[in-house]
Amino acid sequence: MSDADSWSLSLGGRSFDVPRLPLAVTVLVYPICQRLTNAGLVERLRSDEGFALTPEEIGDLTELAFQAAHAADPELDTQAFLALPITPPELFAAFFVMRIQCGGWRKASSDSEGGNEPGEAQGAQAPPPTSTSTASSPA
């Protein structure tokens, strides 16, 4: 795996280079990423208004951050992870990294509009429309 396939993530004063995830981890984190995305977490994070997280969302973000850290450092156990002074913004960063590393979302292009956060999902490009007009058909 090349370094280009890993994402650097800071959690609790430690730096983790999170690799592309093996299937065993993807099947754990993809449903969490999807649930948080579908619940509007990305939009709430971008909002200028304050927002509240449910206990379930905090638990999901913590699980994503642990799986990210553990993928980068397999020796890290749950107890040591939970002792790290991880901040909410670091949990949010782990969410974006895990969306990319599980393969369910793609990295935002640097030339995209809207000031997307690193790792923010972009919808797939739609194919160009196919004309059904007889005026455009060859004669």
Sign of the Cα pseudo-torsion (83, 85, 90, 92, in order): positive
Task: Count CB atoms within 10 A of the CB of residue 107.
Answer: 15
pLDDT-derived band at 10 (thresholds 50, 70, 90) equals very high
What are the pLDDT digits (tens) for 48-58? 777 788 999 99
Give the tens place of pLDDT for each residue, 29-44. 999 999 999 999 988 8
On the question of pLDDT at 119 being above 90, the answer is: no
Determine phi and psi for 38, rounding to 5 degrees. Answer: -65, -25
Position 131 scores a pLDDT of 38
**d(C-alpha 112, C-alpha 3), whole Å:** 23
CA–CA gap between residue 22 and residue 12 (Å, rounded): 24
* pTM assigned to the model: 0.72
Q: Output the pLDDT for position 49.
A: 75
Are 30 and 101 a contacting pair, CB within 8 Å?
Answer: no
